[in-house]
Amino acid sequence: MTRRDTAGRYAAVVSIRSGRGSTTHDRVVRFVPVFESSEQAAGYAMSQGLAWLAADPVSLTPSLSATGTLPWPKKN
């Protein structure tokens, strides 16, 4: 996905859904680089999403902090 900012540039956004039924989880990531065209942003989003899917699942698992809690999600 892409989103246009107020300056007319495009941000790359990836949405990855997993699970089924009541255990469905949707992770949405917006990347820092901005692009001049929607096509460039979409290409970047696609490559990042595919890289995330191909990554080792162990490396994506958050580790416990020194206090024994997960570092995320943080409540506002």
> 0.75 cut: is pTM over it?
no
Calculate mean pLDDT across residues 1-24: 88
Q: Are strands 10-18 and 25-35 parallel, antiparallel or unpaired?
A: antiparallel
Calculate mean pLDDT across residues 26-55: 89
Task: Report the distance separating Cα 4 and Cα 18, nearest Å.
Answer: 26
* DSSP single-letter state for residue 21: G
> How many other CB atoms are there within 10 angstroms of residue 60's CB atom?
9
